[in-house]
């Protein structure tokens, strides 16, 4: 997507130096646009853990490039040392964040593909090809999600006789959370680009404010009309009939259709059900966990530092500052994600089309994952 009129992906190889990966460091958005250069798997692990990059698809693509950097680091070692280094690199990357399944999906794909290498050069070439493939596929799949989601928005626009369609989204499942286009935002961009009148309600998404900081910024860069609201305002708008459709992303969806997404998603799904508002989840198949059946029992929910809840951070006099918004002595808990059970979900928008959030319907779109 575009920043200041120029096309960017969120992660790419440095054009004149194949040993360097560049990425948008999201910690400074929307106030500063910073590009970070990453030269080692260690540095990539830090970028994922400390959320310079975040969002399911981008975490997967970053892990893919992290494995490529690991392969470069040990390219000239013998097969045994190479394999040892790659196993360690995989463990280091896997330990960064627990909830988005794209992380382990990308690492497994790298380990499988590089196993075929016979020489050091082949190992590196395979790791590079796989990393590029993961990134390209992510962008392509999000583009397809846009096309399928556009059909849904068109239907709603028709029933509203082409009056503005109001979409609510939570957190950032935008292009910043992927390599390009985004999952929840891809249908929004497609609808906006096709001239459909559309307005997006953006929930701020405490404690890290991915909605107000990232989603609002990227929609603004693309010229999509939007309004930021406090998380707690979403139910009020739904009750008043101000929301036609909700589209969110996911960090991990079980093959039975339970959806883990940023904390607060479950409450929005409950309010949507109570108010009869369609609630869609947009996802590339790399976010489906084909091993997990019961989302509530099995999906690991990340808990982050209590400081993120006790502070609010923002821009003041040209610098990023944090201010205390809770008593120093009060304990705080910081759950990063929640699970929305399949019963609350109207449908899943994938790169292969829209399906219901249940095992039969998901498998009918992805028959290669038959048990």
Would you please indicate which residues are annotated as catalytic (active-site) residues? 251
206 Cβ contact list (under 8 Å, min separation 6): 231, 264, 309
336 binds ligand MRU (CB under 6 A): yes
CA atoms of 272 and 278, how far apart (whole Å): 7
Cβ(44)–Cβ(93) under 8 Å?
A: yes
79 Cβ contact list (under 8 Å, min separation 6): none
Tell me the HSE value of 276 on the side-chain side, using a 13 A CA sphere: 2
251 binds ligand MRU (CB under 6 A): yes
# of chain residues touching ligand MRU (CB under 6 A): 17
- Radius of gyration (C-alpha) of the chain in whole angstroms: 20
Phi/psi of residue 248, nearest 5 degrees? -125, 170
CA atoms of 170 and 247, how far apart (whole Å): 8
Residue whose CB is less far from ligand MRU, 63 or 127? 63
54 binds ligand MRU (CB under 6 A): yes
Residue whose CB is less far from ligand MRU, 45 or 124? 45
Angle (CA) 334 210 103, round 5°? 75
55 binds ligand MRU (CB under 6 A): yes
CA atoms of 1 and 222, how far apart (whole Å): 8
172 binds ligand MRU (CB under 6 A): yes
Cβ(296)–Cβ(341) under 8 Å?
A: yes
339 binds ligand MRU (CB under 6 A): no
Interface mask (CB under 6 A) for ligand MRU, residues 6-45, using x and -?
A: ----------------------------------------
Residue whose CB is less far from ligand MRU, 257 or 336? 336
The least CB distance from residue 48 to ligand MRU, in Å, is 9
The least CB distance from residue 173 to ligand MRU, in Å, is 4
249 binds ligand MRU (CB under 6 A): yes
Residue whose CB is less far from ligand MRU, 114 or 171? 171
The least CB distance from residue 39 to ligand MRU, in Å, is 23
Where are the strands (E) in the chain, listed by range? 2-3, 6-7, 11-13, 21-25, 34-38, 165-169, 198-203, 226-229, 245-248, 252-254, 259-262, 279-282, 288-289, 311-316, 319-324, 337-340, 347-350, 353-355
Residue whose CB is less far from ligand MRU, 146 or 336? 336
183 binds ligand MRU (CB under 6 A): yes
Of 10, 166, 209, 250, the one binding ligand MRU (CB under 6 A) is: 250
Residue whose CB is less far from ligand MRU, 130 or 250? 250
Q: Can you read off the two tokens belonging to residue 281?
A: 């989840």
268 binds ligand MRU (CB under 6 A): no
The least CB distance from residue 249 to ligand MRU, in Å, is 3
210 binds ligand MRU (CB under 6 A): yes
Cβ(30)–Cβ(200) under 8 Å?
A: no
CA atoms of 213 and 177, how far apart (whole Å): 13
The least CB distance from residue 287 to ligand MRU, in Å, is 7
The least CB distance from residue 219 to ligand MRU, in Å, is 14
138 binds ligand MRU (CB under 6 A): no
Residues at the contact surface with ligand MRU, assessed by CB under 6 A: 54-57, 171-173, 177, 183, 210, 248-251, 261-262, 336
């Amino acid at each position: 997507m575009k920043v200041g009129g120029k096309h960017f992906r969120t992660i790419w190889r440095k054009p004149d130096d194949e040993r360097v990966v560049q990425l948008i460091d999201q910690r400074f958005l929307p106030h500063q646009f910073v590009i970070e250069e990453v030269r080692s798997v260690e540095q990539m692990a830090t970028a994922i853990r400390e959320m310079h990059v975040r969002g399911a698809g981008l975490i997967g693509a970053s892990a893919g490039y992290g494995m490529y950097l690991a392969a470069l680091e040990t390219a000239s070692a013998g097969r045994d040392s190479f394999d040892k280094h790659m196993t360690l690199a995989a463990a280091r990357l896997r330990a960064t964040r627990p909830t988005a399944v794209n992380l382990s999906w990308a690492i497994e794909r790298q380990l499988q593909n590089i196993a075929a290498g016979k020489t050091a050069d082949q190992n590196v070439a395979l790791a590079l090809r796989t990393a590029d493939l993961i990134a390209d596929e992510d962008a392509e799949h999000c583009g397809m999600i846009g096309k399928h989601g556009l059909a849904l928005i068109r239907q709603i626009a028709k029933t509203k006789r082409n009056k503005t369609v109001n979409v609510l989204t939570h957190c950032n499942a935008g292009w910043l959370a992927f390599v390009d286009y985004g999952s929840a935002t891809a249908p929004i961009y497609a609808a906006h680009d096709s001239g459909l009148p559309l307005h997006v309600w953006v929930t701020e998404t405490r404690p890290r404010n991915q909605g107000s900081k990232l989603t609002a910024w990227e929609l603004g860069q693309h010229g999509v009309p939007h309004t930021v609201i406090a998380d707690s305002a979403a139910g009020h708008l739904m009750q008043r009939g101000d929301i036609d459709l909700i589209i969110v992303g996911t960090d991990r969806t079980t093959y039975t259709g339970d959806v883990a997404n940023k904390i607060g998603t479950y409450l929005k799904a409950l309010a949507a059900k109570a108010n009869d508002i369609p609630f869609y989840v947009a996802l590339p198949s790399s976010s489906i966990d084909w091993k997990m059946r019961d989302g509530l029992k099995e999906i690991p929910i990340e808990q982050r530092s209590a400081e993120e809840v006790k502070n609010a951070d923002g821009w003041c006099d040209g610098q990023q500052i944090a201010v205390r918004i809770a008593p120093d002595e009060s304990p705080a808990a910081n759950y990063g994600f929640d699970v929305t059970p399949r019963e609350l979900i109207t449908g899943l928008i994938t790169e292969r089309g829209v399906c219901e959030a249940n095992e039969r319907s998901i498998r009918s779109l992805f028959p290669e994952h038959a048990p």
